[in-house]
């Protein structure tokens, strides 16, 4: 395989779990060293929290975001340390886009850890707990879902926010709007319309106050042009200008995640293999559904690392 055929992708919220990367941490000192760096930036022992903490604490968005970013960076560093093939593209789902930008050399790791903790706080305070909701919708096409959300928005803001794979879209908004949309979606023939266990309506227009705060935080930060191009959630394209990247990160917080567009763009650029760096294999499953020709690997254990290294060496 050559570099042009490989992309690394980075998971977003929902992939965190207590005990994640435990075997990698035991086998490779660099994994714990990466967590120690993040711990120094935030002032608490992140590895201990990830291995011995409560799942409920890991699920708080201001904790989830730095934890997942750190896990992804740890896996990327390990990949490089083990002589893994350098990818020609990177992408990340929502929070994962920050992981991609760190791994691509655009954002300093410690700065990013602090930034995504703040991002989590901004997102949580934009809509008080209990006022927002999200739901996964299976079995309807995108246009139908967008149309039904518009109809349901008379009850409260509700929007299509994650285009994850064909036939799988996440909606979000005010509780009443989401509940009304679920009712209409089921009536329209959705196979499933399930509320998700999240604490805020991410990627909706309700997140604009969080976007304004994130813009202030980013204005004070230094970004570089990525060494490896990153495909952005907002439009499924790459961007090299640091100021444009900052604007995309702000827009992303209150705009839909166009993951289907991201994966289609990577496939159109010649990518044949994606490697998911971090816990779980949510993106690997989505990527395969979007582009059936893709080989989709993930790295979260010594075994999956060895398998990925072997696959790209052929």
Residues with catalytic roles: 94, 203
Q: DSSP states of 50-70 as a string? A: HHHS-HHHHTSHHHHHHHHHH
Q: Which tokens belong to 256?
A: 């839909």
Sort 292 into a burial class: Cβ within 10 Å, 0-12 / 13-18 / 19+.
Answer: exposed
Dist CA 53 CA 233 (whole Å)? 31
Q: Angle 114-169-122 (CA atoms, 0-180°, nearest 5)?
A: 25
Q: What is the dihedral of CA 178, 13, 202, 154, to 10 degrees?
A: -10
Sort 221 into a burial class: Cβ within 10 Å, 0-12 / 13-18 / 19+.
Answer: middle
Sort 303 into a burial class: Cβ within 10 Å, 0-12 / 13-18 / 19+.
Answer: exposed
Q: Which tokens belong to 216?
A: 């202030």
Q: DSSP states of 117-182 as a string? A: HHHHHHHHHHS-TTTEEEEEEESS-HHHHHHHHHHHTTSS-EEEEEEEETTEEEEEEEHHHHHHHH
CB 100 within 8 A of CB 75: no
Q: Angle 59-65-70 (CA atoms, 0-180°, nearest 5)?
A: 115
Helix (H) or strand (E) holding 161: strand 158-165
Q: Which of 126, 123, 150 is nearest to 60 (CA)?
A: 123
Strands 6-10 and 273-277, how do they pair?
parallel
């Amino acid at each position: 395989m050559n570099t042009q055929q490989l992309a690394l992708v980075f998971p977003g919220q929902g992939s965190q779990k207590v005990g994640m990367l435990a075997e990698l941490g035991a086998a490779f000192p660099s994994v714990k060293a990466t967590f120690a760096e993040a711990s120094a930036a935030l002032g608490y022992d992140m590895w201990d929290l990830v291995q011995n903490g409560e799942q409920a604490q890991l699920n708080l968005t201001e904790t989830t975001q730095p934890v997942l970013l750190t896990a992804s960076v740890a896996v990327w560093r390990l990949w490089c340390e083990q002589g893994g093939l350098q990818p020609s593209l990177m992408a990340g789902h929502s929070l994962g886009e920050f992981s991609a930008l760190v791994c691509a050399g655009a954002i300093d790791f410690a700065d990013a850890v602090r930034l995504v903790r703040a991002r989590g706080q901004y997102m949580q305070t934009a809509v008080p707990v209990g006022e927002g909701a999200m739901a996964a919708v299976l079995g309807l096409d995108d246009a139908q879902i967008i149309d039904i959300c518009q109809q349901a928005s008379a009850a409260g803001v509700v929007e299509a926010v994650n285009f994850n794979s064909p036939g799988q879209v996440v909606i979000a908004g005010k509780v009443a709007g989401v509940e009304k949309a679920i009712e209409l979606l089921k009536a329209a023939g959705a196979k499933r319309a399930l509320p998700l266990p999240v604490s805020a309506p991410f990627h909706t227009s309700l997140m604009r106050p969080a976007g304004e705060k994130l813009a202030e935080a980013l204005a004070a930060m230094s970004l570089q042009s990525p060494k490896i191009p990153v495909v952005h959630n907002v439009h499924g394209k790459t961007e090299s200008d640091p100021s444009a990247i900052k604007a995309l990160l702000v827009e992303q917080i209150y705009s839909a995640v166009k993951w289907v567009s991201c994966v289609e763009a990577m496939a159109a650029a010649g990518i044949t293999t994606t490697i998911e760096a971090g816990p779980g294999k949510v993106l690997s499953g989505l990527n395969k559904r979007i582009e059936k020709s893709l080989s989709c690997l993930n790295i979260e254990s010594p075994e999956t690392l060895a398998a990925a290294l072997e696959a790209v060496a052929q």
